[in-house]
């Protein structure tokens, strides 16, 4: 099983940028899909971004497209979420997730992932 650990969340102001990190320990393999989800208070966990099958393609939620970018440092086995032009609506706990079993259509659903980090809080003040 892969252990995931997020870091980087903090309080920022509207318009600021922030980078989240997720380090993966354990064997991930070439078919491993990693993603970022977020959950705001009182809301369901929602898809943010993914690297399908170790980077064969990347995908973004419409709400973050053009502002957020997902990337990976293979040497460190760490994925990043670079967030720009942050808005109060981006306030949430951000989770890193991974799965070796995703098909293209399932990568946007939280229930497709079986490895999860503990989450990191991002708060954007108005």
pLDDT digits 0-9 by tens, 58-95: 999 999 999 999 999 988 899 999 999 999 999 999 99
Burial 50-79 (b: 16+ CB within 10 A, else e): bbbbebeeebbbeebeeebbbebeeeebbb
Please tell me the distance from the alpha carbon of residue 32 to that of residue 82, in angstroms, as a whole number.
Answer: 20
The 8-class DSSP code of residue 54 comes to: T
pLDDT tens-place string over residues 10-40: 999 999 999 999 999 988 888 899 999 999 9
Closest CA to 31 of 69, 57, 5: 57
């Amino acid at each position: 099983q892969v252990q995931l650990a997020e870091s980087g969340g903090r309080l920022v102001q509207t318009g600021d940028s922030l980078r989240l990190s997720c380090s993966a320990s354990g064997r991930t393999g070439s078919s491993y899909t990693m993603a970022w989800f977020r959950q705001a208070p009182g809301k369901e966990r929602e898809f943010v971004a993914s690297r399908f099958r170790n980077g064969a393609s990347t995908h973004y939620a419409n709400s973050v497209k053009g502002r957020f970018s997902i990337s990976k440092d293979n040497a460190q086995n760490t994925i990043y979420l670079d967030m720009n032009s942050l808005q109060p609506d981006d306030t949430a706990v951000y989770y890193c997730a991974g799965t070796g079993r995703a098909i293209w259509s399932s990568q946007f659903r939280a229930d497709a992932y079986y490895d999860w980090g503990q989450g990191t809080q991002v708060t954007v003040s108005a």
